[in-house]
Amino acid sequence: GQNIDQPTEMTATEGAIVQINCTYQTSGFNGLFWYQQHAGEAPTFLSYNVLDGLEEKGRFSSFLSRSKGYSYLLLKELQMKDSASYLCADHNTDKLIFGTGTRLQVFP
């Protein structure tokens, strides 16, 4: 089966930078998605990487290394509203395989 691994919980301070890591199995890989999900709400799309390297979108950046089966989501200038779960998902044979998510708590 496919394994997506990411930390269960992380904490950070408002204004800081946090990096959320994700590892996945490389067979059948066709892209890596990151979603944000606030408690009780729908996941919302943040980023997509299919080639190696860094994709930057404002305060959020996502990195991919296909050879290592590794990605990270970088959140800069953290705000209280960034407190949420961050889901890593492997796009594999036309389906998304989700990790269990990383719950990020931002403190003032």
Partner 1 sequence: DADVTQTPRNRITKTGKRIMLECSQTKGHDRMYWYRQDPGLGLRLIYYSFDVKDINKGEISDGYSVSRQAQAKFSLSLESAIPNQTALYFCATSDFSGISTDTQYFGPGTRLTVL
Q: Which residues contact partner 1 (rule: CB under 8 A)?
A: 31, 33, 40-45, 48, 50, 87, 91, 94-96, 98-101
* d(C-alpha 32, C-alpha 19), whole Å: 16
- Could you tell me the smallest distance in angstroms from the CB atom of residue 16 to partner 1? 26
The neighbour count for residue 101, using CB atoms within 10 Å, is 22
Residues 6+ apart with CB under 8 A from 75: 17, 18, 19, 20, 59, 60, 82, 104
- Could you tell me the smallest distance in angstroms from the CB atom of residue 38 to partner 1? 11
Closer CB to partner 1, residue 20 or residue 91? Answer: 91
- Could you tell me the smallest distance in angstroms from the CB atom of residue 88 to partner 1? 10
Closer CB to partner 1, residue 19 or residue 44? Answer: 44
Tell how far CA 71 is from the center of its chain: 7
Closer CB to partner 1, residue 43 or residue 69? Answer: 43
